[in-house]
Amino acid sequence: MSGYSGRWLSGVLLSLATATLLATPVASAAGAHQQSTVNGGDAMYTVSPGPGREPYYCSAGFAIVVKGVRYLLTAGHCTEHGLDWKDIGANLDTHFPVTDYGRIRDLNGSGPSSVDLYNGRTQRILRAGIPRVGQPVCRSGMTTKKQCGKVLGLGQTVDYGGGKQVVGTIVTDIPVSSGDSGGPLFAGGIGYGVLSGGNSQVSFFQPLPPVLAAYGAALA
Protein backbone atom coordinates (compact mmCIF):
# COMPACT_ATOMS: atom_id res chain seq x y z
CA MET A 1 0.00 0.00 0.00
CA SER A 2 3.05 2.25 -0.08
CA GLY A 3 2.34 3.26 -3.68
CA TYR A 4 0.23 6.21 -2.58
CA SER A 5 2.11 9.47 -2.93
CA GLY A 6 2.55 11.97 -0.13
CA ARG A 7 0.24 14.45 -1.84
CA TRP A 8 -3.36 13.99 -3.01
CA LEU A 9 -4.79 16.27 -5.67
CA SER A 10 -7.92 18.37 -5.37
CA GLY A 11 -11.27 16.88 -6.37
CA VAL A 12 -11.62 14.67 -3.31
CA LEU A 13 -13.19 17.37 -1.18
CA LEU A 14 -16.04 16.43 1.17
CA SER A 15 -17.90 19.74 0.73
CA LEU A 16 -15.46 21.77 2.81
CA ALA A 17 -16.65 25.16 1.65
CA THR A 18 -20.29 24.48 2.41
CA ALA A 19 -19.71 22.25 5.43
CA THR A 20 -21.85 19.47 4.00
CA LEU A 21 -24.98 21.18 2.69
CA LEU A 22 -27.94 18.85 2.13
CA ALA A 23 -31.55 19.71 1.30
CA THR A 24 -33.62 16.60 1.90
CA PRO A 25 -32.78 15.50 5.49
CA VAL A 26 -33.34 18.88 7.15
CA ALA A 27 -36.17 17.77 9.42
CA SER A 28 -34.69 14.42 10.35
CA ALA A 29 -31.25 15.88 11.03
CA ALA A 30 -32.66 18.55 13.29
CA GLY A 31 -34.80 16.02 15.14
CA ALA A 32 -31.82 13.74 15.67
CA HIS A 33 -30.53 16.04 18.41
CA GLN A 34 -33.44 15.82 20.78
CA GLN A 35 -31.18 13.73 23.03
CA SER A 36 -28.92 14.25 26.02
CA THR A 37 -25.80 12.60 24.63
CA VAL A 38 -24.42 12.82 21.10
CA ASN A 39 -22.37 9.82 20.02
CA GLY A 40 -19.63 9.79 17.43
CA GLY A 41 -21.14 9.65 13.94
CA ASP A 42 -24.39 11.30 14.99
CA ALA A 43 -25.75 14.21 12.96
CA MET A 44 -25.08 17.80 13.97
CA TYR A 45 -27.16 20.64 12.56
CA THR A 46 -26.68 24.38 12.32
CA VAL A 47 -27.34 27.24 9.89
CA SER A 48 -25.00 29.66 8.15
CA PRO A 49 -24.82 33.27 9.38
CA GLY A 50 -25.04 34.69 5.84
CA PRO A 51 -27.97 35.52 3.56
CA GLY A 52 -30.40 32.64 3.17
CA ARG A 53 -29.43 30.99 6.46
CA GLU A 54 -28.45 27.79 4.65
CA PRO A 55 -28.51 24.58 6.72
CA TYR A 56 -25.18 22.94 7.54
CA TYR A 57 -24.62 19.36 8.60
CA CYS A 58 -21.61 17.57 10.00
CA SER A 59 -21.04 14.50 12.16
CA ALA A 60 -19.83 14.34 15.74
CA GLY A 61 -16.42 12.79 16.35
CA PHE A 62 -15.36 11.94 19.90
CA ALA A 63 -16.43 13.21 23.32
CA ILE A 64 -13.39 14.70 25.05
CA VAL A 65 -12.68 16.37 28.39
CA VAL A 66 -10.34 19.34 28.89
CA LYS A 67 -9.79 20.51 32.49
CA GLY A 68 -13.06 18.93 33.56
CA VAL A 69 -15.11 20.48 30.73
CA ARG A 70 -16.77 18.26 28.15
CA TYR A 71 -16.53 18.95 24.40
CA LEU A 72 -17.31 17.21 21.14
CA LEU A 73 -14.43 16.89 18.73
CA THR A 74 -15.24 17.22 15.02
CA ALA A 75 -13.61 18.51 11.83
CA GLY A 76 -12.17 22.02 11.90
CA HIS A 77 -13.86 22.93 8.63
CA CYS A 78 -17.15 22.26 10.42
CA THR A 79 -16.38 24.62 13.32
CA GLU A 80 -14.69 27.40 11.33
CA HIS A 81 -17.97 29.30 10.84
CA GLY A 82 -18.42 30.09 14.53
CA LEU A 83 -21.97 28.80 14.69
CA ASP A 84 -23.96 27.10 17.46
CA TRP A 85 -25.07 23.52 16.87
CA LYS A 86 -28.70 22.76 17.65
CA ASP A 87 -29.24 21.10 21.03
CA ILE A 88 -25.47 20.67 21.53
CA GLY A 89 -23.56 23.90 22.10
CA ALA A 90 -21.30 26.54 20.63
CA ASN A 91 -18.11 26.18 18.62
CA LEU A 92 -15.06 26.89 20.75
CA ASP A 93 -12.25 26.87 18.20
CA THR A 94 -11.20 25.69 14.77
CA HIS A 95 -7.91 24.44 13.33
CA PHE A 96 -8.07 24.38 9.53
CA PRO A 97 -6.31 24.18 7.11
CA VAL A 98 -2.98 22.35 7.73
CA THR A 99 -4.82 20.41 10.43
CA ASP A 100 -8.58 19.77 10.52
CA TYR A 101 -10.16 19.67 13.96
CA GLY A 102 -12.28 21.79 16.28
CA ARG A 103 -14.26 21.69 19.53
CA ILE A 104 -17.93 22.18 20.32
CA ARG A 105 -19.05 22.75 23.92
CA ASP A 106 -21.15 19.70 24.82
CA LEU A 107 -23.64 21.28 27.20
CA ASN A 108 -25.95 18.29 27.65
CA GLY A 109 -23.57 15.38 27.13
CA SER A 110 -22.72 12.74 29.68
CA GLY A 111 -21.15 9.33 29.86
CA PRO A 112 -18.14 7.87 28.06
CA SER A 113 -17.07 8.61 24.49
CA SER A 114 -18.98 6.23 22.22
CA VAL A 115 -19.59 5.74 18.51
CA ASP A 116 -23.01 5.18 16.94
CA LEU A 117 -22.94 1.86 15.04
CA TYR A 118 -26.33 2.60 13.43
CA ASN A 119 -27.72 -0.80 14.42
CA GLY A 120 -29.19 0.29 17.73
CA ARG A 121 -25.87 -0.15 19.50
CA THR A 122 -22.84 1.98 20.34
CA GLN A 123 -19.14 1.23 20.66
CA ARG A 124 -17.33 2.71 23.64
CA ILE A 125 -13.98 4.30 22.73
CA LEU A 126 -11.43 3.59 25.44
CA ARG A 127 -8.22 5.07 24.04
CA ALA A 128 -6.64 6.80 21.07
CA GLY A 129 -4.14 5.15 18.75
CA ILE A 130 -2.40 5.19 15.38
CA PRO A 131 -3.48 2.44 12.95
CA ARG A 132 -1.13 0.45 10.74
CA VAL A 133 -1.27 0.37 6.96
CA GLY A 134 -3.56 -2.45 5.81
CA GLN A 135 -5.44 -2.58 9.10
CA PRO A 136 -9.24 -2.98 9.02
CA VAL A 137 -11.01 0.12 10.35
CA CYS A 138 -14.53 1.54 10.45
CA ARG A 139 -16.08 4.99 10.24
CA SER A 140 -19.43 6.36 11.40
CA GLY A 141 -21.25 9.34 9.91
CA MET A 142 -24.74 10.81 9.56
CA THR A 143 -25.09 10.19 5.81
CA THR A 144 -23.46 6.85 5.04
CA LYS A 145 -23.76 5.48 8.61
CA LYS A 146 -21.21 2.83 9.65
CA GLN A 147 -18.82 1.83 6.87
CA CYS A 148 -15.66 -0.26 7.09
CA GLY A 149 -12.54 -0.74 5.00
CA LYS A 150 -8.77 -0.61 5.45
CA VAL A 151 -5.98 1.89 5.97
CA LEU A 152 -4.16 2.79 2.74
CA GLY A 153 -1.54 5.18 4.11
CA LEU A 154 -0.36 7.35 6.98
CA GLY A 155 1.12 10.84 7.16
CA GLN A 156 -0.36 11.92 3.83
CA THR A 157 -1.04 15.46 2.61
CA VAL A 158 -4.40 16.13 0.96
CA ASP A 159 -4.87 19.21 -1.25
CA TYR A 160 -8.42 20.56 -1.28
CA GLY A 161 -7.61 23.42 -3.65
CA GLY A 162 -7.64 27.14 -2.99
CA GLY A 163 -4.52 26.85 -0.88
CA LYS A 164 -6.24 24.55 1.61
CA GLN A 165 -4.18 21.50 2.52
CA VAL A 166 -4.28 19.13 5.47
CA VAL A 167 -1.07 17.32 6.34
CA GLY A 168 -0.42 14.07 8.18
CA THR A 169 -3.75 12.41 7.38
CA ILE A 170 -4.75 8.78 7.68
CA VAL A 171 -5.96 7.55 4.27
CA THR A 172 -8.56 4.78 3.94
CA ASP A 173 -10.64 3.19 1.20
CA ILE A 174 -13.88 3.81 3.10
CA PRO A 175 -16.43 5.79 1.02
CA VAL A 176 -17.78 9.04 2.44
CA SER A 177 -20.39 11.61 1.46
CA SER A 178 -21.63 15.07 2.41
CA GLY A 179 -22.57 15.24 6.08
CA ASP A 180 -20.03 12.62 7.20
CA SER A 181 -17.35 15.26 7.92
CA GLY A 182 -16.03 15.10 11.47
CA GLY A 183 -17.19 11.53 12.09
CA PRO A 184 -14.88 9.10 13.90
CA LEU A 185 -12.46 6.51 12.53
CA PHE A 186 -12.13 3.57 14.90
CA ALA A 187 -11.60 -0.15 15.36
CA GLY A 188 -13.09 -1.80 18.42
CA GLY A 189 -12.50 0.46 21.40
CA ILE A 190 -9.66 2.43 19.79
CA GLY A 191 -10.25 5.85 18.19
CA TYR A 192 -7.97 6.88 15.35
CA GLY A 193 -9.20 10.15 13.86
CA VAL A 194 -11.98 12.40 12.56
CA LEU A 195 -13.02 12.66 8.93
CA SER A 196 -11.53 15.55 6.99
CA GLY A 197 -12.61 14.76 3.41
CA GLY A 198 -12.88 12.23 0.64
CA ASN A 199 -15.20 10.74 -1.94
CA SER A 200 -16.70 7.38 -2.90
CA GLN A 201 -13.27 5.73 -3.19
CA VAL A 202 -10.91 7.31 -0.66
CA SER A 203 -11.16 9.20 2.63
CA PHE A 204 -8.80 11.28 4.76
CA PHE A 205 -8.78 11.56 8.55
CA GLN A 206 -7.17 13.97 10.99
CA PRO A 207 -5.32 11.68 13.47
CA LEU A 208 -6.70 11.73 17.01
CA PRO A 209 -3.61 11.44 19.29
CA PRO A 210 -1.99 14.77 18.28
CA VAL A 211 -5.34 16.55 18.72
CA LEU A 212 -5.72 15.23 22.28
CA ALA A 213 -2.14 16.30 22.99
CA ALA A 214 -2.72 19.79 21.57
CA TYR A 215 -5.79 20.32 23.77
CA GLY A 216 -4.39 18.56 26.83
CA ALA A 217 -7.52 16.44 26.52
CA ALA A 218 -8.63 12.93 27.38
CA LEU A 219 -11.43 10.86 25.92
CA ALA A 220 -14.58 11.17 27.99
- For the question of residue 181 being annotated catalytic, the response is yes
Does position 78 have pLDDT exceeding 60, yes or no?
Answer: yes
Specify the pLDDT at position 54. 76
- For the question of residue 203 being annotated catalytic, the response is no
What does DSSP say about strands 7-8 and 145-159: parallel, antiparallel, or unpaired? parallel
Does position 19 have pLDDT exceeding 60, yes or no?
Answer: no
Q: Average pLDDT for residues 63-88, to the nearest whole number?
A: 93
Q: Please tell me which residue in 42, 59, 77, 140 is annotated as part of the active site.
A: 77
CA dihedral of 148, 66, 43, 50, whole degrees rounded to 10: -130
Q: Average pLDDT for residues 106-110, to the nearest whole number?
A: 91
SS3 81: coil
Specify the pLDDT at position 36. 62
Q: Please tell me which residue in 114, 177, 181, 196 is annotated as part of the active site.
A: 181
* Average model confidence (pLDDT) across the chain: 85
Domains defined for the chain, CATH in brackets: 7-15+114-208 (2.40.10.10), 26-105 (2.40.10.10)
Beta strands in the chain (DSSP E): 7-8, 43-47, 55-59, 62-66, 69-74, 84-85, 89-95, 101-105, 114-116, 122-124, 127-128, 136-141, 145-159, 165-172, 184-187, 190-198, 203-207, 218-219
pTM as predicted: 0.85
C-alpha to C-alpha distance for 204 and 197, rounded to whole angstroms: 5
Specify the pLDDT at position 47. 80
Q: Quickly state the pLDDT bin for 80 (edges 50, 70, 90).
A: confident
Radius of gyration from C-alpha coordinates of the chain: 15
Q: Average pLDDT for residues 22-34, to the nearest whole number?
A: 28
Percentage above 70 pLDDT, the chain: 80
- For the question of residue 5 being annotated catalytic, the response is no
Q: Average pLDDT for residues 11-31, to the nearest whole number?
A: 31
Specify the pLDDT at position 81. 77
Q: Quickly state the pLDDT bin for 27 (edges 50, 70, 90).
A: very low
Name the residue with higher pLDDT: 99 or 5. Answer: 99
Distances in Å between the Cα of 45 and the Cα atoms of 67, 88, 131, 162 are: 26, 9, 30, 26
Q: Please tell me which residue in 42, 100, 116, 180 is annotated as part of the active site.
A: 100
What tens digit of pLDDT does each residue of 37-66 get?
899 999 999 886 667 677 889 999 999 999
Does position 142 have pLDDT exceeding 90, yes or no?
Answer: yes
Name the residue with higher pLDDT: 162 or 209. Answer: 209
Name the residue with higher pLDDT: 130 or 53. Answer: 130
